[in-house]
Every structure is written in structure tokens, then in C-alpha cells.
Structure 1
Amino acid sequence: MKNLLLGTVGMVGTLLSGCLGLAPAMAAEATGEPVVIGVLEDRSSSGAFYSQESSKALKAFVAAVNRGELLYAAEQFGGRPGIMGRPIKLLFEDDQSNPNLSAAKARRLVEQGARMLIFISGSAATIQGKVVCTEEKIFCIAPTNVNDKIVQPPNNQFIFTVAPPAELQAETLVNGLKRAGYGKIGFFSESTATSKPLLDSYVKRLTEDGFKAASVEIMEAGARDASPQLLRIAEAKPDVLLDVTAHAPSTVTLYRSYNRLNLELPRWATSSVTAQPQIWAQAGDSIDGLIVVDMIDPTKPSLVAVRDLYLAAVGKDQPFVWLHAAVWDGLMMTKLAVEKANSVDGAAMVAAMEQIADFPMAHGQQGYTVSYKGKHSGAGSKSTNIVVFKGGKPAKLWETYQP
């Protein structure tokens, strides 16, 4: 009778909490031997602008998950905090987005006890670093990288991505540009290891879809004036200027130079711009009117929950971008792979990951879920949208077209 009464009281308390909008009791914290995850980040080079946003989010989200704050995903995990009830411990190495350093840094993390790896620096570095995933047979995930080659052979057996790859973003871009009625494109990029392959992939995809590359211009990373490249693009008379930069200072230089020249070309860009809020602050109103392929819907309930958790940790005045949402989703995928496998063995985690289907994500459109069955990129067409900049930040969804 006593147990029945206690259960009834607990049920009433839960109902009252829901009815009155009170916070439910905090889940138990993770305990026991930590699950060690190695993280490849860029602290000091061309990818540091976006990599450090991802690193900040990962630290905040791991702390929350260790406390049992699983948000909308709690039911998926039976409310267990951490990973298998054990706390997550992060180890970090700076690979400087340098392909020549990434593998060595990844091996160092494994030597220090990492049982799985998260890559949040440049895509080119991840492509080189993933060899360690195969060598050591450990589970790896690159939640924010968008280069399609990461999950292509060789050495792709143990690595997964989360964010929509460049090819999928390009599909959204193609459809948007077609709806806008454009035919000729002026491409602008910079000479970094991350930007060059992205530029090549966008030029290839768009020209295969019937667009004409009116001009392809590459600025040296670190240059303070993009006028020569922009003038050559303007002389080629494209219908639209497409920004394929990844290095924030180069992007800022592009838009400031564009304003100084009083050009009137429509401007589109990839998700690199929405990933790096430093660009918005430094570019100011020179970025207004820019149309960008992005990955988050600010009205989506799961996204709002993740955003509120992040801002509570880092400060409500901080920006929230798609990188943060993709990092949360990558952490959820890692937790799910371990718990479905009931093991931190790499091969078992990979097998478990390859069975994941219809898992709800924070990024993407309303109702967007991922499936990894038969592939190592779970992204689908609903993972992207198109936004317009106003007031120096992404302000609204583009009314003309959404995927």
C-alpha cells in the first residue's frame, strides 16, 4: 500500500509539473568509468573560425548529456545519461585543418585512450585523418564536414557524416538558381585546402546542370582586397555571383570589396557563411541581400530546444548556427551507435549505425529524420533550406523556393 501511494504521489507530481509548466525532475547524472572520445579541431588556422564554434557546442552538449539532459531525444535513449550511463570525456588535438597533421593527431588521441573520434576541423584534413579510423578500427564521425569524399573510398568503412554534403547542398542551390531564372554564374573562392575542392565540386555540378561558368576567380587566402577578382567577374557579365569561400576573413573581404565597387550582381553563397557568425559582425550591412543555402529552421521545436540548451551554457547574446545543431545531432548519433551496439567496439558501432533509420534531427526542416541504412551519410533533401540576410544576419526563409 505504501509503495502504491508513493507511486500515485509521483504520478500526480509529474502531471502537475506538466500542467503548470514546471521543470521535470533532473535525470540522474552519468557515473562510472568515462567513455573517452577524441576530437580533431582547428584552433589556430584557416578553419578555426567554424571549428571553434563546433568545439564550444560539443563541450556544452557533452556536459548536458552527462547530466541527463537529452531533450526531445530522451525517449530514444530511455533517459540514460552520458553513454550507456557512463560519463563522456573529451580529449582534443589541434590539427590546424592541415591534411599533413590530421592522421598524426588522430593517432595521438587513440594512444591517449580515445575509443572513437569526432572530426570538427576542415574537410580536407578529415579526408586524410580518416585513415586512422580504418587502421585502428574505431568509430569516427564528422558532423559538420560537407565534403562528399569523406564517406567515399578509400578508408570510409568506419566514418560517418551528419550535415548535408556539398553535393546535396548543390542540388538545393541548383533548384534555387533555376527558380530565380539565372543561367550564367561568376564563381568566387579562395586558395585554402578546404575551399578549393568545394569550388571544384560546385563548378562541376552547376555546369553539368546546364549553367555556364562565366568566370571562376580565386583570391589568395589572407588578401585584403577582392577588387581585381570581382572586376573580372563583373566584366564577364554573369547573372549571379556565387561565393564558395570557407575562410571567414576572405568572405568578409569579398563583401566589403563588393560594396566599395558598388556592384549590383545578385549574390548567393554556401552554408559556410551561415556557419561563421564572425562574418556577419565584420561584414555588417555589406552582407544584406545575400541568399544562402542553410540547414536550420528557427521555428522547429527540436531545434529550439537545442538552441536554448546551448545559449543557456554559453550566453543568450551568442549566435546559434547550423554548426551547433549538427554537433548535437552528431553527438546523438554517436550515443545511439554505442548504445545500440552495447559496446565501444568500432566494428560493432559501425554495424549498429548502419541500422539507424528515421531518427529525428535538430537541423533540417520540420519533421526531418535521418537514415544510415546502406550509406554513411544520413542526409536527405529536407536537411537544407534557403535563407536571406537582412540586418547583417540570416533573417528569413527565401519565399521563392524551398526544397
Structure 2
Amino acid sequence: MNAFTAIRSRRGVLAVAAALACAAVPAWAQQASGPIRIGMITDRVGPAKPYAEPVAQGAVFAVKQLNANGGLLGRPVELLVEDDQGRPDVSATAARKLVDSGVAFILSVSLTPATQQAQNVTMETKTPHMTPSNSGDTLTTQINNPNFWQTGPLGSTQIATLLSYAKAKNYKRVALITDNSDLGQLTNKFFKAGLEKAGVQVAVEEVVPRGSTTAEPQMQKLRAANPDAIFMTGVLTPENALILRAYRQLGLKAPVLGNYNLSVPQTSSVAKGLLDGVVFVDAFDPDKPETKRFIEAFKKDQGTEPYNLNGYGYDGVMLVADAIKRAGSTDKEKVREAMQATKGFAGVMGAKGSSYGFPEGKRTGFDPNGMVVRVYEGDKQGKVVHVGAK
């Protein structure tokens, strides 16, 4: 459910980085048992690329760190990467290829339909499989695959967190503005239902079509409705930038609340100069101790400051490593049992004090109260102003 000028300049870098993460293996790694292989299915050329590549970059960094600290079970870790182009049929083929290559675990960093199709393979082969970043609410329910887990925050959790912030601010009448993409329309629908359930009146709804050159007509209608706050529920970054530009040009004063799309770095470049004071929901708290250590280590190694998408990939690999350590083996059933037993794993993502864990019978592991609301200070993603969905 799942910017990126820097990412574009790194075309092909992930393949090299994945190789480097496993290169120059020290003497301790040269064992007959060979490396522990983790597979990753990502999207390097398709619609999920802007999100998938930075998630994959975080995973590559995690493997590099593991190997620098002795690997797993006294063996090096090797990351095998496959590109599914965001296509379900290709994703299934990639999963089959990784299984045949002897991976102990597969991470999916692609679109929801592609990840669902790959699940058919991992269910059949009983291969542990997880998506560390996808937020689709149906990923663990449409297919009853006991070998699959999801650690990205559910879309419903993201919405509930932003609605909790709105409730704390005592907003009574709000406006919704979205785009006409399928996901934008679905997100708007969920926001509207949540607001109405909370007793908040939706005074006006507007849609900015994909490819528009201005959002002034829609924002003029929002201004006329005089809402207490404006919810941006669209997922298309160019259209969101148009909305923010019209908001500034028309002199609207109602606070703007952005969904998770406003947390991706592309927003800061595309909507430069338009973001100050806008709040948005995120899963990345820079003041969390685990996150601070990750930021410092990533900057030292990569030369750039990481952001939320990098953190998802990093946590995904580290959760897999933790399960393999506790299993004491790469036996698929033992690893499956260990992953399902995960509790209290404090990762890079999530608010201070939050942790990953899988309640009995559940395979979604992000803390329901682990999301935060942050505010833009100029064009920089700033401080946390609200925590959790309570």
C-alpha cells in the first residue's frame, strides 16, 4: 500500500549493495554449512519502486551489520534479491526461485497483489515469509497462510492514529480532499467512516483528478465550507502538492492533517515551501533510542540520513535474524514457530516504548499504538505531537 531524486540516482545500486553486504567474507564464515540465505522480492522498475527501493536499501544495510557482527549461528548472511516489477505473476515466480535457492526466509517489498500471489508459493512450500512495510489490512486475512507475517502498520492503524489526534484537538466539522486513484478513494472512504463513527461532521468532500494542473476550484469550495480542519486523504504526491499550493495561495487557515503519504521524502522536494505546520501520521520517531542508534549507524555507513522507509527494511531483516537465532536453526518449521512467538522486539520503527509482537492467532506485528503524528517545521519533518490511536 504501499523521493525520489536521490533514489533514482541509485538505479541498480541495490543489486551491488546486496552483493557487497555479503562480499569479503572473513575466515569465520568459510564453513561447510555455507551462508544463511534470506530472500527479498522487491520492485525496481514498477509502480512500487519509489517505496520498495529505500525499504530494500534498509534491508541491505541490516545484512551488512549482521555480517560485521559475526553473522547468524556462526554463519554469514546472504541476501538474494529478486525484482517482481510489482507484478503478481512475476512475484510468484520470484518466490519459487528463492525457495529453490534454499532461502530460510523471504521478505516481500512490493505491491499488495504481488505479495498475495507470492504467498501461494510460501504456503505450499511452508517457507517463512513476511512483508516489513506493506500496510494492506487484508494481507493476513485473505489467505490463511501460517507462514506469513506483516510488520508494517496497518492502514486502519494509521487512520485511527490521525483520528485520535483530531479528537484530541476537538475538531467538530472537517473537510476531506483526495485524488481519484483507487487507493486515494479507498483511503478517503476509510477516513470518512472513521470520522463519522467518532461523531465528527464531514462538511465537504472534494477530489483532485490525477494529472490536474491546479487544485484551486476544489480548495475554494473547502474555504467556503469553513471547516475546523482539512484532511488530505490522497496518495498521489503531485496532486497533494497542488492542494498545498492552493491552500497557501487562497489563504486558508484551517489546520491540515496529512495521511501517511506525506511522510515520504518526495513530499519535501515536490511541495517545498508549502509544508510548514502540516501534520502527518508516521511510524518513525527520531527520538526513540533504537531509532537514534539506527540513524547514527546508517549515516556513518551510507553518508546520508535514513528515513522511515529505510527503517522498515532494516527491521524486517533484524526480525528475521532474531527468529533464526531463537530457533537455533534454519529449519523452516522451527523458524516459523520462533517468528510467531516474537514478543517485545523493539525495532527502529514505532513510537518510543512500542515493540513488535504477534498475539496468539494473529500475524500482524506492529504495535496498534505505535504510530505517531509529526509536524512539518519548514520543509523538515519535525517533532512528534501525538502518539497512538487511543
What is the 5 A alignment of 1:187-266?
187-192=176-181, 194-266=183-255
- Give the C-alpha shift of residue 37 in structure 1: 2.3
Runs of 5+ unmatched residues, structure 1: 1-26, 69-80
* 3-state secondary structure, aligned to 1:284: coil
Q: Give the counterpart letter for 2:293 in structure 1.
A: A
Give the RMSD, CA atoms, in angstroms: 2.8
Consecutive unaligned residues of structure 2, counting only runs of 5 or more, are: 1-25
Select which of 277, 287, 291 maps to 2:275: 287
Aligned to 2:300: 312
Superposition pairs for residues 48-197 of structure 1, below 5 Å?
Answer: 48-68=49-69, 81-99=70-88, 101-192=90-181, 194-197=183-186
Q: Which amino acid aligns with 1:270?
A: N
Displacement of 1:218: 4.3
User: TM-score, length-normalised on structure 1?
Assistant: 0.79
Structure 2 CA distance, aligned partners of 1:194 and 1:121?
15
The answer on whether the counterparts of 1:325 and 1:363 sit within 8 Å (CA) in structure 2 is yes
How many Å separate the matches in 2 of 1:113 and 1:100? 21
The alpha carbon displacement at 1:181 in A equals 1.6
One of 291, 315, 329 as aligned partner of 2:315: 329
- 1:28/1:173 Cα in 2 relative to 1: closer, same or farther (>3 Å)? farther
Structure 2 vs 1, CA of residues 195 and 380 (structure 1 numbering), >3 Å: closer, same or farther? Answer: same
Q: CA deviation at 1:36?
A: 2.4
Q: Deviations over 1:277-322 (max 9, x none)?
A: 121122112011111122222222211111111112221xx34222
Q: d(CA) in 2 for partners of 1:40 and 1:348?
A: 23
Question: What is the deviation of 1:365?
Answer: 2.5
Residues 55 and 314 of structure 2 are in contact (CA less than 8 Å); yes or no, is this contact kept in structure 1?
no
Q: Aligned in 2, Cα 1:124/1:217: closer, same or farther, shift over 3 Å?
A: farther
For 1:338, the equivalent position in structure 2 comes to 324
Question: Shift of residue 237 of structure 1?
Answer: 4.3
Paired amino acid for 1:165: L
| CA 355–145 in structure 1, closer or farther in 2 if over 3 Å, else same | same
Larger deviation, residues 27-36 vs 150-159: 27-36
Q: Aligned in 2, Cα 1:314/1:384: closer, same or farther, shift over 3 Å?
A: same
CA contact (8 A) 2:61 2:314 kept: no
Change (3 A) 1:209 1:250: same
- The letter for the 1-side match of 2:329 is S
Aligned counterparts of 2:257 and 2:131: Cα–Cα separation in 1: 26
Q: Distance in 1 between matches of 2:84 and 2:202?
A: 34
| Residues 207 and 127 of structure 1, relative CA distance in 2, 3 Å threshold | farther
1:18 corresponding residue in structure 2: none
Instruction: Tell me whether 1:380 sits opposite 2:376 in the alignment.
Output: no
Residue number in structure 1 paired with 2:387: 402
Which secondary structure does the structure 2 equivalent of 1:343 belong to? coil
Contact 2:244 2:274 in 1 (8 A): yes
CA contact (8 A) 1:99 1:129 kept: yes
Letter in 2 for 1:90: L
Contact 2:62 2:318 in 1 (8 A): no
* Partner Cα distance (1:242, 1:197) in 2: 14
Partner of 2:7: none
Q: Which amino acid aligns with 2:291?
A: L
Query: What is the rounded CA distance, in whole Å, between the counterparts of 2:213 and 2:83 in structure 1?
Result: 26
Q: CA deviation at 1:239?
A: 2.7
Aligned residues: 360
Q: Distance in 1 between matches of 2:94 and 2:225?
A: 44
CA–CA distance in structure 2, aligned partners of residues 97 and 223 of structure 1: 26
Contact 2:174-2:204 at 8 Å conserved across structures: yes
Q: CA deviation at 1:229?
A: 4.0
Which shifted more, 341-350 or 165-174?
341-350
Structure 1 distance, partners of 2:367, 2:83, is 31
Tell me by how many angstroms 1:381 deviates.
4.1
- Give the letter for the 1:44 counterpart: V
1:195 to partner: Cα distance = 4.1
Instruction: Measure the CA separation in 2 of the matches of 1:203 and 1:108.
Output: 42
| C-alpha contact 2:277 2:375 (8 A) present in aligned 1 | yes
Asked which structure has the greater CA Rg, the reply is 1
Q: CA deviation at 1:126?
A: 2.6
Instruction: Tell me the CA shift for residue 193 of structure 1.
Output: 5.4
1:357 is the counterpart of 2:343: yes
1:268 aligns with 2:254: no
Shift of residue 334 of structure 1?
A: 0.6
Specify the code of the residue in structure 1 equivalent to 2:234.
T
Change (3 A) 1:282 1:358: same
- Residue by residue over 1:32-86, the C-alpha shift from the partner in whole angstroms, topping out at 9 and shown as x without a partner, is 4222222222223433222221122111221111111xxxxxxxxxxxx333232
